Amino acid sequence: MVERLQGKRIMITGAAQGIGLAIAEACAREGAALLLIDRDNDLLQDIATRLRNHGASLLHRTADITDRDAITAAVNEARHEIGEINALINNAGVNVFAEALASTDEDWDRCFDINLKGAWNCCRTVLPAMVAAKNGVILNIASTHAFTIIRHTFPYPLAKHALLGMTKSLGLEYAGEGIRVNALAPGYVATQKVLDYWNSFPDPAAAKAETMKLHPGGRIAAPEEIAMAAVFMISDECTFLNAACLTVDGGLSVQQHP
Catalytic residue numbers?
A: 156
Angle, vertex CA 230, rays to CA 224 and CA 236, nearest 5 = 135
In the complex, least distance from residue 116 CB atom to ligand NAD, rounded to whole angstroms = 11
Using CB atoms within 10 Å of the CB of residue 186, give its burial: 0 to 12 exposed, 13 to 18 middle, 19+ buried.
Answer: buried
| The only residue of 51, 59, 61, 91 in contact with ligand NAD, by rule CB under 6 A | 91
> 200 to 219, contacts with ligand NAD by CB under 6 A?
none
Q: Are 86 and 6 in contact (CB under 8 A)?
A: no
By CB under 6 A, tell whether 11 contacts ligand NAD.
Answer: no
Interface characters, 104-133, with ligand NAD (x: CB under 6 A)? ----------x---x---------------
| The only residue of 31, 57, 64, 238 in contact with ligand NAD, by rule CB under 6 A | 64
Strand partners, 11: 35, 88
Q: How far apart are CA 240 and CA 55, in angstroms?
A: 31
In the complex, least distance from residue 195 CB atom to ligand NAD, rounded to whole angstroms = 9
Q: Are 163 and 146 in contact (CB under 8 A)?
A: yes
Cβ-based nearer residue to ligand NAD, 7 or 258: 258
- Choose the stretch contacting ligand NAD; rule: CB under 6 A; options: 1-9, 98-106, 125-133, 191-199: 191-199
In the complex, least distance from residue 6 CB atom to ligand NAD, rounded to whole angstroms = 25
Q: Are 67 and 13 in contact (CB under 8 A)?
A: no
Q: Are 214 and 245 in contact (CB under 8 A)?
A: no
In the complex, least distance from residue 199 CB atom to ligand NAD, rounded to whole angstroms = 13
Cβ-based nearer residue to ligand NAD, 130 or 183: 183
Q: Are 205 and 170 in contact (CB under 8 A)?
A: no
